[in-house]
Amino acid sequence: MCYNIDSNNHTFICSLPACSFHLAFLSLQYSGQTEGNRARILQGSSDIPLNEVGREQAQKASQVLKDVPFTAVFSSDLCRALETAQILLKGHTTCQIPIIQWPCVRERCFGVMEGKPIQEYYEASALANEKHFNYVPENGESHKEVEVRAHRFMEQLCETDVMSESSGGHGTTQPVILVTTHGGFLKGLMTVLVEKMGCDLSESSNQAYSSICQNTGITRVTFSLDANKKPVNMKCTKLYDAAHLNDG
């Protein structure tokens, strides 16, 4: 199965009833921890691997997801997200399907500020008389550009045959998709789902969708597709849940 859909990996939906959209973000704030996280370095789209803490976090997350009947697995093409996906599947009880790398779900690019301490980013934003949230370094992406990318990802996802595939070996007619991505991208995606696509957060104990997810936090979104392959009846039942990190 191969998809040439811009850049970014994200997942799932179904053609009949509701589908289960499982987002496992293990990164910066999705994939597990990296040395860049630990040292408070701005990573962005730089390809920095997990550290041992990050691998342990991913292993704990795998215990939460081990019985979920995933029918497709997508990952950012950055190695910290890909390794997170590999660890999740290694701990899975039945899922032995390939990981599809989708560059479209990679982390926000911070341009010339990547690899520098986060404090330098704050100082640069102050010199530019910008709030750090709005500051866009040279050759970097703005939050709005990430949201546009996230919106495009959802539209393209809904057009793929993953949405209409029936089982994936688990005897279910519902697509159940795992996506490992990054904190900045996930924040942009949730902003799009809530503000543009009407995602209902009422069933989630956490409703702070515009905040940044903790490393290996798990989000679950369910929705159906209408006749035009547009997502409808969308609900977020779990948002940025990292309770597994408190176990053991």
Q: Dump pLDDT digits (tens) for 86-128.
A: 999 997 877 778 999 999 999 999 999 999 999 999 999 999 9
Q: What's the confidence (pLDDT) of residue 137? A: 97
Output the CA–CA distances (angstroms, integers) from residue 171 to 95, 168, 175, in the order listed.
12, 7, 11
Question: 233 in a domain, yes or no?
Answer: yes
Question: 120 in a domain, yes or no?
Answer: no
Q: At 214, which CATH number?
A: 3.40.50.1240
Q: In terms of residue numbers, what domain contains 58?
A: 19-110+141-246
Question: 51 in a domain, yes or no?
Answer: yes
**Residue 199 is which amino acid?**
C
Residue 106 annotated as lining a ligand binding site: no
Helices (H) and strands (E) in the chain, counts: 6, 6
Question: 135 in a domain, yes or no?
Answer: no
> d(Cα 94, Cα 70) in Å, to the nearest integer?
9
pLDDT digits (tens, 9 = 90+) for 59-91: 999 999 988 888 888 999 999 999 999 999 997
Q: What's the confidence (pLDDT) of residue 31? A: 66
Q: Which residues contact 89 (CB under 8 A, 6 or more apart)?
A: 73, 95, 96, 97, 99
> d(Cα 26, Cα 74) in Å, to the nearest integer?
13
- 14, pLDDT greater than 80: no
Question: 63 in a domain, yes or no?
Answer: yes
> d(Cα 182, Cα 76) in Å, to the nearest integer?
8
Q: What's the confidence (pLDDT) of residue 248? A: 62
- 226, pLDDT greater than 70: yes
Among 149, 148, 189, CA closest to 21: 189
Among 74, 225, 70, CA closest to 155: 225
pTM of the model: 0.85
pLDDT digits (tens, 9 = 90+) for 164-187: 654 444 555 678 888 999 999 999
Question: 177 in a domain, yes or no?
Answer: yes
Q: What's the confidence (pLDDT) of residue 48? A: 94
Helix (H, G, I), strand (E, B) or coil at 37: helix
Among 7, 6, 51, CA closest to 216: 51
Q: What's the confidence (pLDDT) of residue 11? A: 32
Domain count within the chain: 1
Question: 118 in a domain, yes or no?
Answer: no
Strands of the sheet containing 231-241, edge to edge, are 99-101, 72-75, 176-181, 19-25, 217-225, 231-241
Question: 1 in a domain, yes or no?
Answer: no
Going by pLDDT thresholds of 50, 70 and 90, the confidence category of residue 16 is very low
pLDDT digits (tens, 9 = 90+) for 157-169: 888 888 765 444 4
Token digits of residue 104 = 């479209």
